[in-house]
Chain A
Amino acid sequence: MTDSKYFTTTKKGEIFELKSELNSDKKEKKREAVKKVIASMTVGKDVSALFPDVANCMQTDNLELKKLVYLYLMNYAKSQPDMAIMAVNTFVKDCEDPNPLIRALAVRTMGCIRVDKITEYLCEPLRKCLKDDDPYVRKTAAVSVAKLHDINAALVEEQGFLDSLKDLLSDSNPMVVANAVAALSEINEASATGRPLIEMNAPTINKLLTALNECTEWGQVFILDSLSNYTPKDEREAQSICERITPRLAHANAAVVLSAVKVLMKYMEMMGQDAEFVVSLSKKLAPPLVTLLSSEPEVQYVALRNINLIIQKRPDILKHEMKVFFVKYNDPIYVKLEKLDIMIRLASQNNIAQVLSELKEYATEVDVDFVRKSVRAIGRCAIKVEQSAERCVSTLLDLIQTKVNYVVQEAIVVIKDIFRKYPNKYESIIATLCENLDTLDEPEARASMIWIIGEYAERIDNADELLESFLDSFQDENTQVQLQLLTAIVKLFLKRPTDTQELVQQVLSLATQDSDNPDLRDRGFIYWRLLSTDPAAAKEVVLAEKPLISEETDLIEPTLLDELICHIASLASVYHKPPTAFVEGTGGLKRALPSRSGEEDASVMATGGASASVIPEPGSLIGDLLSMDIGGGGSTAGAGGTGNVDILGGGLDILGGTAPSAPVSEPLRYDSEESNSTDKSNAIRNTVIRLQSTNSLLGDIFGLSGTSSTTFHIPPKQVWLPAPKGKGMEISGTFSRKNGQIHMVLTFSNKAMQPMNQFAVQLNKNSFGLIPAQALNVPNIPPNQSLDISLPLNTNGPVQKMEPLTNLQVAIKNNIDVFYFACVMPIHVFFTEDGNMEKKVFLATWKDIPSANEVQFTLENIECNADGVSTKMNQNNVFTVAKRHLEGQDMVYQSMKFTNDVWALAELKIQPGNPSVTLAIKSRALDVCHSIFAIYDTILHN
């Protein structure tokens, strides 16, 4: 006899029949009827009409029947609140039952009934159950507090349940402690302020660690997770906690293992990295991580995502374990792809041979996604491990020979990158590549192939024919291919001008006349103009040396990585995004790795600082400050004429300066050109500067090096909006620059009597086009509380020149009113990380800028020497181009670049022993000079 009998129905109407059975006098019949009801409910049938009849069965001594009725009530109470209230009395009575099982069941069920009227009655029984003699009841009650908080948070605080819950942390029974921790952390997560409810101090930690050894596996996860929120006060404490946690690594439950790994990874950060303890702990971490990979595929997946983070932070931990990441052919695809990622990260000179032979094996598998990624991986190995490049190339060639279409295309895309990384080394294979020209049908592969042909046009005899063959279908090509084709043909023309004139004219006319793509037209026009006026300059622009591409392309940015390390084992670690980015309603509580005592935070950052990738600078404002300079500067007054060589020359200087480290630029806004086509000079400047992206178009894989400045000068916060003016809201703030993005750092203080919420921010049009990059994420601020927030800003907003230039008008709204205030931005936040000009370019530009655009200042009371000045300014993105010693004076030449691509050059005269320093600033945009002087003054006196 099975439960399936509960589904047999008669024609007469199921509900009717059940109703009569439920009201039967026979206990036996009643129970069977309730079972039928539950069975229907399980499959999603609506049996809510039976509510009163089922509720009537509640008063029974039979535990099973009681349970079943409770199950029913939990499900339908919400839809029948008035009926549910009838059950309250029974609940309250059951909470007093001598049988602890029934007491627990009653308090548990009451918490699940999400009806306000019932929760009011829950308070008293719950209070009693929290102090019950039986630990089973107490542990059930602890969870009920969390349920109640979910329904009515205010009630829980009012009734002091949080304190009772905290008392349970010192309960004698480990299960009770574990449940209290779980309940508290859930309440914590749901609360708006994000303030931790459990005050972590040594005694609490001790209690938790004791309970950790004795409670269930699930309780261990809760406890480990809350331990990971605690920052030990010193290295010794961290070490002793680690020692007590290490045995958890041998737990059979994968969740316990990974949570333990999280705590250990976080605490290890506090210790000297060469300390014996850290070394031995690192060794202990590897085996459990490897073991996770032999569990179910779902566990493997989560483990792999986490391992990906762990090896970015501590590459040593798994460096000898390459083999466990080898792919088995029947692994699910999501496991395969993750394994592949980790294989590349672990690839080194020692194991590259093995890795390559595996990758080659994978490239012949059936799954297309996996094969593509494997081919890509071979290319990444070549770029990462220089010694292996040759082998990788020959492997790729072997793969191309297979003629499998998608393999060939993928191989060509990666070979392009290999050419970028090792120029003039593997060009012998071009012939083989060219054989596959016809089979390429994906834009990326076609574009890559065209790039290769253009780049090595001088060595390919029939380059013109090859490129011409693409030209026939020019209109049908993808934009990416069109742009590439245009550049490649221009390259070809510059290299072999004699026989390709016709071809270049053809492509230029296609790009400029027959295309409606502004990107393509712009590039076409500028090439045309360059070629017709100054072919030498054209050569310099089009055939400019390309920056090298970096080896690791998808490393997680170090600050994000540090945050994610604190979230190992959580969803954040699976998505590789901070929880604030995807969990609804988190109070913006950011976790940070603790730093080692006595060391500055900066050192933690610096560990991975070199490989930081920079958020691309929006290049949309290029024209605007330049046009200011045209209006102000006298010598470029003749700029109105089209095709003026001087302008181009000037533009080239700018270009030359930016090229070495040009970031991937966003597409320009074309409306300026379209709407204002008479202002040709402006358009030309736009396009000239656009060219820097020509070079970088292919290399979407290069990151910038040496960017994040560790001691960037952040002016102290100023009160921008005093409380009386802000109806009780006080705002103070400052600006900073982190990882290439400007941040407005604000402190909101609520000095009013009521809570404030619904915050929003707007910035008025300003000189640098600053606009908020995201909405102002300020939660509810209760009275007498304050909150710090960092608002990232972009520079692609509307532009209006302000007086002074650095003035910024801000409007902030909350539930009370809208407030306006103005603040002054320190100009150095607009200095970009790529502002280091080459010496030659610096010289040329210096000469090129008229002396009318030079302003001299004197800096007083400077105590540091030339080197000190250099270092200080360098940290703020003012780069020293050259230094000279001249007649007892130190001359320092510095360059800086604004987010809108305006350059400023500076010359400092420093006499040893003399506290006055002469500062000369040259820029096409004269307006910035005063602000630059001011910032020099502040930084050097800081």
Chain B
Amino acid sequence: MIHSLFVINSSGDVFMEKHWKAVIPRSVCDYFFEAQNKASSMDDVPPVIETPHHYLISIYRCNIFFVAVCKSEVPPLFVIEFLHRVVDTFRDYFNDCSETIIKENYVVVYELLDEMLDNGFPLATESNILKELIKPPNILRTVVNSVTGKSNVSETLPTGQLSNVPWRRSGVKYTNNEAYFDVIEEVDAIIDTSGGMVSAEIHGYIDCVVKLTGMPDLTMSFMNPRMFDDTSFHPCVRFKRWEAEKILSFIPPDGSFRLMSYLIGSQNAVAIPVYARHNLYFSPAGHGKLDLTLGPKQTMGRQLENVKVEIPMPKVVLNCTLTSSQGKYAFDPVSKVLNWDVGKIDPQKLPNIRGTINIQNGATAPESNPTLNVSFTITQMAVSGLKVSRLDLYGEKYKPFKGVKYITKAGRFQIRM
């Protein structure tokens, strides 16, 4: 399966390598660098590269490339999913994942990688189990360890590893039993110049933080469970029960995890909570005019917050002189991106930005207008209308504190100008 892993930073240095079988020389990365040079941006490096003797399967996350080297026919998604899991684990352990952090925690990283993969086969990838095997670094423990001479590697076999609930360790104890559920929906949409919807879909997920004693068995039911076009679940969810009764029944992992994700696709009507009135015009004479107004719609009375607009301007644009009715704007003359941090939208006083755009002398005006990227959040509302109706606990005697929160966000929300 996976032979080796090379971790490469954005300037092309291999700053970490791990081999699970025989050592593969670093020179294999040259094929990767070749592909990287051809790509116009870091994001465009193809994820599967063929070399004469190996296959390089890579992901690009946190400005770092994780390049897995495989020798034989493997399912590429298997490798890609695994690499993402590695990054998720690093983030879980170190709160973030960057070159500096990996370098600061070399030994833990190395131990983790060794525990996650054996001979190229995934061994322990559940963060609950890994944390039992290798304790995450924290300042207090490091101090205690250095005083007492203890290590941060567990001496005993993690309990969950072989039980029928491999995602949960036994003997969990809390004084306050609580379970929080966040229903988060992201709206992906393409809106055409005239405001018509080209495509729209909702990607929703339920993220949980569960801190419950013992082996709790939870059920969650929805007011309107038939609206999902597709669902995928954490392995803890009993699929049969969902199929038969549309009830989520599960023994939760300890801590934070994603319970389910779902898709409400383009077949259904998707509410678009924001609209834009825009006018961008480039005159052949060498300057342009921008006038952009944003407004809420179909928000069920909730407020649009954290609204941000990003416009990747054509390459010929030199700078922008604009005035905004609210929020700050900034134009980066290198990347040519205009950012407008709008903030909240007050339906009585719609935010507007207008002004002139200067183009390089002698350059021809661009033929096409850029695409507007809008981000926003709406709290206390799931744009699809999804509602959790009940949450019950079985198997344990205590009464937990339960909470459900709804948030709607812009996913990849694009408006063509």
Contact = CB atoms under 8 A, between A and B. Distances in A.
Interface string B98-125: 0000011111111100100011011101
Given A75-B19, A255-B75, A334 B46 contact: yes
A150 B231 contact: no
Contacts of A735: none
A3 B73 contact: no
A358 B261 CA distance: 29
Contact of A175 (B59, B73, B125, B162): B162
Given A146-B119, A173-B162, A570 B75 contact: yes
Contact of A71 (B14, B16, B53, B110): B110
B84 A296 contact: yes
Interface in B258-277: 258, 260-261, 263, 265-267
Contact of B15 (A43, A146, A301): A43
B76 A302 contact: yes
A31 B151 contact: yes
Contacts of A182: 1, 121
A314 interface: no
A1 B108 CA distance: 13
Contacts of B22: 78, 114
Interface in A243-296: 247, 250-255, 257-259, 287-288, 290-291, 294, 296
A10 interface: no
B48 A574 contact: yes
Nearest to A573: B76
B261 A583 contact: no
Nearest to A334: B46
B361 to A, nearest CB: 21
Contacts of B232: 250-252, 257, 288, 291
A179 B151 contact: no
Contacts of A288: 230, 232
Given A323-B199, A328-B412, A582-B50, A290 B263 contact: yes
A189 B72 contact: yes
B368 A583 contact: no
SS of A interface (majority): helix
B10 to A, nearest CB: 15
A229 interface: no
A404 B26 CA distance: 43
Interface stretch (A62-70, A503-511, A926-934): A62-70
Interface string B161-199: 110101000000000000000000000101010000011
A243 to B, nearest CB: 11
B109 to A, nearest CB: 8
Most chain B CB within 10 A, of A44, A78, A321, is at: A44
A333 B39 contact: yes
Count class of interface residues, chain B: 35 or more
Interface in A217-237: 217-218, 221, 225
A416 interface: no
A258 B73 contact: no
Contacts of A332: 43-44
A68 B234 CA distance: 33
B266 to A, nearest CB: 4
A35 B315 CA distance: 50
Contacts of B122: 216, 218
B161 A330 contact: no
Contacts of A251: 232-233, 235
Interface stretch (B152-160, B213-221, B338-346, B388-396): B152-160
Contact of A247 (B43, B61, B243): B243
B21 interface: yes
Interface string B58-90: 111100000000011111111011101000000
Contacts of A218: 78, 82, 121-122, 125
A333 to B, nearest CB: 5
A294 B53 contact: no
B335 interface: no
Interface in B190-242: 190, 192, 198-199, 201, 203, 229-235, 239-240, 242
Contacts of A290: 229-230, 263, 265
Given A136-B161, A329-B414, A334 B77 contact: no
Most chain B CB within 10 A, of A3, A179, A254, A358, is at: A3
Contacts of A4: 103-104, 106
Interface in A344-359: 354, 357-358
A326 B192 CA distance: 12
Nearest to B110: A42
Nearest to B164: A214
A229 to B, nearest CB: 13
B371 interface: yes
Contacts of A111: 119
B107 A3 contact: yes
Given A43-B16, A136-B161, A367-B40, A147 B103 contact: no
B199 A298 contact: no
B47 A255 contact: no
Contacts of B229: 287, 290
SS of B interface (majority): mixed
B47 A334 contact: yes
Nearest to B153: A64
B250 interface: no
A75 B105 contact: no
Nearest to B54: A584
Given A101-B155, A323-B198, A333-B44, A571 B74 contact: yes
A755 to B, nearest CB: 23
Contacts of A71: 110-111, 114
Interface in A601-629: none
A25 to B, nearest CB: 14
B416 interface: yes
B190 to A, nearest CB: 6
B47 A301 contact: yes
Interface string A316-334: 0000110110101110111
B81 A570 contact: no
B18 interface: yes
Interface string B121-142: 1110110000000000101001
Contacts of B371: 329
Contacts of A574: 48, 76
B149 A28 contact: yes
Contacts of A6: 106-107
Contacts of A324: 199, 201, 265-266
B367 interface: yes
Interface in B366-417: 367-368, 371, 373, 412, 414, 416
Contacts of A366: 314-315
A583 to B, nearest CB: 5
A143 B188 CA distance: 43
B159 to A, nearest CB: 11
A296 B199 contact: no
A255 B78 contact: yes
A39 interface: yes
A3 B104 contact: yes
A334 B49 CA distance: 12
Given A100-B157, A247-B243, A358 B77 contact: no
A217 B235 contact: yes
A330 B258 CA distance: 26
A1 B1 CA distance: 35
28 contacts: A2-B104, A2-B105, A27-B149, A39-B106, A42-B107, A42-B110, A62-B151, A63-B151, A99-B156, A101-B156, A114-B21, A136-B157, A140-B123, A175-B161, A186-B72, A221-B78, A247-B240, A258-B75, A287-B265, A302-B80, A321-B265, A321-B266, A364-B368, A366-B314, A570-B73, A571-B74, A574-B76, A584-B72
Given A173-B162, A328-B188, 11 more contacts: A64-B153, A71-B114, A101-B156, A101-B157, A111-B119, A147-B21, A251-B235, A252-B232, A321-B265, A333-B40, A569-B77
Closest 7 CB pairs of A and B: A287-B230, A364-B368, A64-B151, A64-B153, A2-B104, A323-B199, A298-B47
